[in-house]
Amino acid sequence: MEFIGVLWNELLMRPMINSLALLADVLFDNFGLSIIVFTILIRIVLIPLTVRQTRSMKKMQELQPRLKSLQERYKDKGPAEKRKLSSETMKLYKEAGVNPIGCLGPLVIQMPIWFGLYRSILRTMPPTPEGLANLSASFYSWNPAISNVPINSKFLGIDLVDFVQGAPLPWNYALPVLVGVTMFLQQKMTMGNQVATSPQQAQTNQIMLWMLPIMFGFFTFQFPAGLAVYILFSNIVGVIIQYYVGGKQPVVLFGRAFLGSAEAREKSLAGASASAAPAAALVEESELEENDEDGQSENVHRQDRRRGNRKRSGNARRRSRRR
């Protein structure tokens, strides 16, 4: 356990504390700017992972109908069949070249960064005597920022180590709202123009799109303002990166398309109105399904059967060509 603590401290906390303090030193003794620049650098470093995550999500999306079909085939079967379902599923992933937990990589990597940053902000600008006494041990001896301690924790009238709810008006409300809005925007762009292939997925998409930003907006009240600034700018940079990684796709919001070329915006609007009806139907269907003991959606069945047939005939064609 102690070893993990040392690793956590040496590999994450100390580099973060020193980077943040050094950036603040360079950026006119401004810790707010330091957090923003640090966020941008972190997001830039994570771009390859973001691209990988986007691709992985796309592939997983494409596999959904086939997975659904497999699950349907082995539904209500015994343990032996369930094991077969697992092996079939893994085979499917292998064929498609998808690692089922590959898309989690960036999230898993970002988690310690979030936790680390949360702790680093509090440790770099300690509001308590204990924290200040403990701080010198975190600095590298070569770091010139050590002589600037205590670092000025004020940014745009906000104390970055104080809870957001304790920030002056309008920041105590503006920060949570901005975090929620930018997170919503990022989710919207990450999901892009994905069309749900099942009622469950349609529901999941809706939850991801609405619930997470709202939850984070509320949680932000309890965060130190510095962390809220990090999340806010991480979202903003995420939106920019997603725009380019996703091929400069327009974003459809409240019936209007933004960003992208005029042609792409028109296309998106047309696509959105066309997909709105099926998506709504899927959600409705899912609600119906919950009330239905048999719970089988004919629509999904039909889609799956069609996809299964296409796949089987494709395989047959490939086999005959090989022969």
Partner 1 sequence: MGLNLRLALALAAALFALAACVTDLNPEGGWSGPVEDGEFLYIGSKDGRMVRVARSTGALDQTWTYPAGEDDDLGEIYGTPAISNGVIYGSAFRCNGNDCEGEVFAAHIETGRSAWAAGPVAVKSRLVGAVGVGASTLVVGTSAIDGKDTPGGYLLGLDPTADAGRDLSAQVSRREKWRIPLDGAVWGGVAVAGDVAYFGTLGGTLYAVDLADSDSYTGSPAGRVLWTYDVGGAISGTPHVTGTNVYVGSFSNELLKLNLAYREQNPTGKTLDPSLEWSFDTGEWIWAEPLLVEGVVYVANLPGQVYALSADTGQPQWQTPAEVGKEIVGQPAIFESNRGPALAVASGEKDVAVVVLSSGQVSGELNTRDHGIKSAPLVIGDVIFVHTDSGQFRQYQAGTLSLLKCIEAKGSGKSCD
The binding site for partner 1 (CB under 8 A) comprises 57, 100, 103-104, 107, 111, 114-115, 118-119, 122-123, 126-134, 136-137, 146-147, 149-150, 154, 157, 159, 161-163, 166, 200-201, 204, 207-208, 211-212, 215-216, 219, 222-224, 227
CB nearer to partner 1: give 214 or 274: 214
CB of 23 to partner 1, least distance (A): 19
CB of 120 to partner 1, least distance (A): 11
C-alpha–C-alpha distance, residues 113 and 120, integer Å? 10
CB nearer to partner 1: give 8 or 163: 163
Q: Which of 35, 9, 40 is nearest to 22 (CA)?
A: 35
CB of 135 to partner 1, least distance (A): 9
CB nearer to partner 1: give 101 or 274: 101
CB of 211 to partner 1, least distance (A): 8
CB nearer to partner 1: give 116 or 260: 116
Radius of gyration of the chain (CA): 24
Residues in a beta bridge with 154: 159
Per-residue buried b or exposed e for 118-149, using 16+ beta carbons within 10 Å of the residue's own CB? bbbbbbbbbeeeeeeeebeebbeeebebbeee
DSSP line for 265-309: HHHHHHHHHHHHHHHHHHHHHHHHHHH-SS---HHHHHHHHHHHH
CB of 168 to partner 1, least distance (A): 8
Q: Which amino acid is at 209?
A: L
CB nearer to partner 1: give 183 or 236: 183
C-alpha–C-alpha distance, residues 22 and 144, integer Å? 7
CB nearer to partner 1: give 218 or 258: 218
CB of 282 to partner 1, least distance (A): 15
Burial of 243 (0-12, 13-18, 19+ CB in 10 A): middle
